[in-house]
Amino acid sequence: MSNDYSKKTIPAPGQPPNVKADAQRTLEVLQAGGLALMPTEVGYGLIAASAEALDRSFAAKKRKPSHTQGVVGTLAVHQELHMLPAKTIDMIRVLHEDLDLSFGIVAPFDKSSKTLQQQSPATLANVTKEDGTMAVYVGGSALLRELGRLSDAAGVLLLGSSANVSGSGQKFSIETMDPEILEAADVIVDYGLQRYHVYGGRASTILDFANMKVVRMGSSYELIRDRMLKFWGVELPPDPDFGK
């Protein structure tokens, strides 16, 4: 990384991560309308909290502005935004909280949600689909959990996507990052190689929990599939590359 990039990178060279301080700094950048490049278990992501930062993210990724964006949130955010039966909400809680799995949740959204009503029309257009659904990614890393806690307390909705130029593949370390992405970020949180790089560049698994269908087979899909069948009798298609 160049010296210019290192000036906006945390932690500082030679220093170990400080999750609470790093999450606080990231939130401050987001609240100021900035763009954060940060780690998730499924690779590095670009996180925004405003329509303006989202536009910069799309420009850096060379992605069409009409592309729907996902919410990066906590279980509390998912439970507020999504409309699902109580048994399905509890299934998601157990999968994420008790079984330590990270995944994207697609489900119908509640138009009366206080959080959604506080968003600009541009942001709403970016995170909701015409079919009445939206996606919320729940991640399990300590940094994401702390950032989620802080953003929930501050009433900030986090919007995220993979940190790569569209079509170039998931990035699991800062060293492999496209220069356009590094240039666009106002803060770079470098926590090293991310754990799900072992899935050969796969992004997160995304499931439509309203219809119990697979939207995308991604990292840890074989674990999610096995546990949904074992504990709830929900059978999903086998993964052709990993597991059964």
Domain count, the chain: 1
Q: Is residue 219 part of a domain?
A: yes
* 188 located within any domain: yes
Give a yes or no: residue 43 inside a domain: yes
Encoded tokens for 151: 């953003």
For 123, the domain range is: 3-232
CATH number, position 15:
3.90.870.10
Residue at 10 is within a domain? yes
Cα three-residue angle 31-4-172, rounded to 5 degrees: 70
Residue 238 lies in a domain: no
Give domain status of residue 239, yes or no: no
- Give the pLDDT means over successive 10-residue stretches in the chain (244 positions): 78 94 98 97 95 92 80 96 98 97 97 92 89 95 97 96 90 95 97 95 96 97 98 97 79
Bridge-partner residues for 206, per DSSP? 104, 216
17 assigned to some structural domain = yes
* Domain presence at residue 155: yes
Pairwise CA distance, residues 62 & 47, whole Å: 16
- Degrees to nearest 5, angle at CA 51 with 188 and 148: 55
